[in-house]
């Protein structure tokens, strides 16, 4: 009699409290890749990698993503925020770095936010999605110290969000004068014109896709292009498969190489092939959507202006589930009034611009009612108010960026704040480069530059980010973080002096991504660079005695 076969299902999670589960299934005649319809999983998981809070230690992971499980149940994890691939053997208490781990960067020995990994057994190597470096890397599995780029210029594994999942620093600022990156040549139907644009999507290469509403088309504008390319619609308004009617929003589904469009006046959501598509396919019917987005699982979130709700459609579903609102028009916490745009964060919380209630609402996953995170104080132009909010984006810190349409400005609301601040549009309505006129859509590129759909100026404005110098790299520190009470000397400590292993009244410090430190060695009149674990430093500025010469 054959012995039962165990199939273990492994998942990565950013929650240290979640882990993996096993499944006991009847014997299989085929290799363990077919899962029987009556298969069941144990409800309690076992942690097989990480689970010791986020960190850089060999027993820790930090925002892991992709995973590969070998025949001997060795797992390979894309330890994304640690910029490394870690190998965990069965029952091991800690992992082994097998690729990267040399700080983030684009050198052959480095990775930057790797998102996935597989093992090529034939060539005894790893193949890695090196996401932020926009490359696929082959890395020798045994004693490999560097990788080889085998595919370039491909940002593999990109979450299909309204904006890239970037961290924007709380003290970030944007230039007050924008640059027109699409349209701006008065309203019209020409390739260099837009007519009442609304939604926008910005790709990793700063290509933008615009819902050119009154032209009934979606237009693609490459970086620095003088005119756009029609990629959907543009055949007059109507309900044929080759037509759109007042499209209000658009996103890119990279996995399926297609556009997903809110075809507003046709009350449908359309999937349109991104390359040489001449017609679209209706994937959701009878919904007067205005805004939409997608989570990392491919579920669509769509605003429904008729039922005053946000609905979620999992892959393959034609009937959505109400996850926000849906209790009639109103201003109670379980209601919405003309929801416009929607954003989903990494925790699957829903943010929605509640247009006629002049507020932004947040609904946690599974919640029966929402909370106000911006506005909600009636109409007006004070810093506590919004006046017809439209497009919105939420960064990793929970900061809300929202279009305050009738105030012709873009507002930023920190998490938990009772009021916001204006980041763009402080000069009243107008057509100058430092003005907006009834803005609608909003997005960021991967660098934090802000894109605004300037509706009544029939243009897209880009406002470059200005990030003040930082004392330390832009990291998130958890509220429950703790530090060891005993410190380690990483520079100096050999009494005062001017030798390479000494400092003399040091003051300022800067720490690089690879833990190299730069020290203002004040009384020695020099700047000293100390690499990780170095016994002495390197003078990189000054060191020629005090004085006012350029050296």
What pLDDT is attached to residue 81? 84
Instruction: Supply the pLDDT for residue 477.
Output: 64
Comparing CA positions, the residue from 412, 433, 418 lying closest to residue 371 is: 418
What tokens appear for 166 in the block?
Answer: 């970037």
Task: Report residue 229's pLDDT band, with 50, 70 and 90 as the boundaries.
Answer: very high
Most confident option among 336-340, 426-430, 502-506: 336-340
Which 3 state secondary structure label does DSSP give 545?
Answer: coil
pLDDT band at 330 (very low <50, low <70, confident <90, very high): very high
Q: How wide is the angle at C-alpha 458 spanned by C-alphas 465 and 353, nearest 5°?
A: 65
Q: Is the pLDDT of residue 52 over 70?
A: yes
Which DSSP helix (H) or strand (E) runs through 239? none
CATH superfamily of 173-466: TolB, C-terminal domain (2.120.10.30)
What pLDDT does 14 receive? Answer: 43
Q: What CA–CA distance (Å, rounded) separates 442 from 340?
A: 12
The reply to whether domains 5-152 and 173-466 share a CATH topology is no
Average pLDDT over residues 149-160: 74
Q: Nearest Cα to 63, choosing from 90, 86, 96?
A: 86
Alpha-carbon 449 to chain mean position: 13
Task: Tell me how far apart the alpha carbons of residues 102 and 86 are, in angstroms, rounded to a whole number.
Answer: 13
Higher pLDDT, 153 or 48: 48
The sheet carrying 506-511 orders its strands as 506-511, 517-521, 526-530, 538-542
Whole-number pLDDT of residue 4: 38
Mean pLDDT for all residues in the chain: 88
pLDDT at 53: 86
Token couple for 55:
């960190």
For residue 470, pLDDT over 60 is answered with no
Structure confidence by residue, pLDDT tens digits, 95-143: 999 999 999 899 999 998 899 999 998 899 999 999 889 899 999 998 8
CB 155 within 8 A of CB 174: no
Average pLDDT over residues 53-82: 90
CA 237, distance to chain mean position in Å, is 34
> Can you tell me which residue has the tokens 């700080």?
103
DSSP state of 203: -
Confidence of residue 27 (pLDDT cuts 50, 70, 90): very low
Q: What tokens does 538 get? A: 């390197």
- Measure the CA–CA gap between 534 and 345, rounded to whole angstroms: 41
How far apart are the C-alpha atoms of 161 and 300, rounded to whole Å? 10
Asked if residues 228 and 192 have their Cβ atoms less than 8 Å apart, the reply is yes
Q: Where are the domains of the chain?
A: 5-152, 173-466, 488-551
Q: Can you tell me the distance from the alpha carbon of 542 to that of 551, in angstroms, rounded to the nearest whole number?
A: 6
248: pLDDT strictly greater than 70: yes
Q: Which tokens hold the place of 429?
A: 């309505």
pLDDT of residue 205: 85
**3-state SS record for 11-37:** CCCCCCCCCEEEEEECCCCCCCCCCCC
pLDDT reported for residue 355: 98
Whole-model pTM over 0.75: no
Residue 49 above 90 pLDDT?
A: yes
What proportion of the chain, given as a percentage, has pLDDT over 70?
Answer: 89
Cα three-residue angle 347-353-354, rounded to 5 degrees: 120
Question: Does residue 30 register a pLDDT over 50?
Answer: no
Q: According to the model, what pLDDT value does residue 41 have?
A: 87
Count of C-beta atoms within a 10 Å radius of residue 381: 13
Beta bridge mates, 5: 25
Q: What does 137-161 look like in DSSP terms, one character per residue?
A: EEEETTT----EEEEES---S----
- pLDDT for residue 157 is more than 60: yes
Among residues 144, 145, 149, 143, which one has the least CA distance to residue 129?
149
The 10s digit of each residue's pLDDT in 263-316 is: 999 999 999 999 888 999 999 999 999 999 998 888 999 999 999 999 999 988
Specify the higher pLDDT residue, 472 or 225: 225
pLDDT in the model for residue 255: 79
Residue 468: which pLDDT band, with cuts at 50, 70 and 90? low
Which of 108-117, 136-145, 475-484, 533-542 shows the lowest per-residue confidence on average (mean pLDDT)?
Answer: 475-484
Q: Which residue has the higher pLDDT, 315 or 30?
A: 315
323, 361 contact by CB (below 8 A): no
Distance between CA 181 and CA 205 in Å, rounded?
14
Name the residue with higher pLDDT: 155 or 325: 325
pLDDT reported for residue 478: 57
The CATH classification number of 5-152 equals: 2.40.10.500
Handedness of CA 495, 496, 500, 506 (dihedral sign): positive
pLDDT band with cut points at 50, 70 and 90 for residue 165 = low
- pLDDT score recorded for residue 33: 56
* Mean pLDDT confidence for 237-245: 98
Output the DSSP codes for 439-499. Answer: EEEEEE-TT--EEEEEGGGTEEEEE-EEPPP-SS------TT----SS----S--S-B-SS
Which of left, alpha, beta for 329 (phi over 0: left; psi -120 to 50: alpha)? beta
């Amino acid at each position: 009699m054959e012995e039962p076969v165990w199939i273990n299902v492994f998942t990565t999670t950013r929650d240290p409290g979640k882990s993996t589960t096993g499944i006991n299934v009847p014997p299989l005649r085929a290799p363990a890749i077919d899962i029987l319809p009556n298969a069941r999983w144990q409800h309690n998981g076992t942690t097989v990698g990480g689970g010791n809070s986020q960190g850089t230690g060999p027993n820790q992971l930090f925002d892991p993503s992709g995973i590969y499980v070998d025949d001997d149940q060795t797992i390979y994890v894309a330890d994304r925020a640690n910029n490394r691939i870690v190998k965990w053997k069965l029952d091991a208490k800690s992992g082994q770095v097998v690729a990267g781990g040399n700080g983030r960067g684009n050198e052959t020995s480095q990775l930057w936010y790797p998102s996935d990994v597989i093992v090529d057994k034939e060539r005894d190597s790893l193949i890695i999605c090196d996401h932020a470096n926009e490359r696929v890397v082959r890395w020798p599995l045994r004693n490999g110290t560097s990788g080889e780029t085998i595919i370039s210029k491909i940002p593999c594994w990109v979450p299909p969000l309204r904006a890239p999942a970037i961290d924007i620093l709380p003290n970030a600022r944007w230039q007050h004068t924008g640059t027109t990156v699409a349209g701006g040549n008065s309203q019209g139907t020409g390739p260099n014109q837009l007519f009442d644009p609304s939604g926008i999507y910005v790709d990793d290469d700063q290509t933008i896709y615009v819902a050119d509403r009154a032209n009934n088309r979606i237009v693609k504008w490459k970086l620095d292009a003088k005119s756009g390319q029609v990629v959907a619609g543009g055949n007059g308004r109507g309900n044929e498969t080759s037509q759109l009617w007042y499209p209000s929003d658009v996103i890119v589904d990279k996995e399926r190489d297609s556009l997903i469009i809110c075809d507003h006046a046709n009350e449908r959501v359309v999937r349109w092939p991104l390359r040489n598509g001449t017609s679209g396919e209706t994937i959701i019917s009878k919904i007067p959507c205005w805004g939409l987005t997608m989570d990392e699982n491919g579920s669509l979130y769509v605003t429904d202006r008729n039922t005053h709700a946000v609905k979620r459609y999992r892959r393959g579903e034609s009937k959505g589930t109400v996850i926000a609102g849906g209790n009639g028009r109103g201003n109670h916490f379980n209601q919405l009034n003309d929801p416009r745009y929607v954003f989903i964060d990494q925790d699957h919380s829903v943010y929605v611009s509640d247009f006629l209630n002049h507020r932004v609402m947040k609904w946690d996953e599974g919640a029966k009612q929402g909370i106000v995170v911006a506005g909600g104080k009636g109409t007006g132009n004070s810093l506590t108010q919004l006046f017809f909010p439209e497009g919105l984006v939420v960064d990793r810190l929970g900061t809300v960026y929202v279009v305050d349409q009738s105030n012709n400005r873009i507002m930023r609301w920190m998490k938990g704040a009772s009021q916001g601040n204006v980041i763009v549009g402080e000069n009243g309505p107008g057509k100058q480069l430092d003005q907006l006129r009834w803005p609608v859509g909003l997005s960021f590129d991967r660098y934090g530059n802000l894109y605004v759909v300037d509706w009544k100026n029939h243009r897209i404005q880009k406002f470059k980010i200005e990030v003040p110098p930082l004392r330390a790299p832009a990291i998130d520190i958890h509220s429950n973080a703790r530090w060891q009470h005993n410190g380690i000397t990483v520079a100096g400590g050999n009494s005062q002096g001017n030798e390479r292993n000494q400092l003399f009244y040091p003051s300022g410090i800067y720490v690089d991504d690879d833990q190299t430190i730069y020290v203002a060695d004040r009384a020695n009149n020099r700047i000293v660079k100390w690499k990780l674990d170095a016994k002495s430093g390197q003078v990189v500025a000054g060191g020629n005695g005090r004085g006012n010469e350029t050296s």
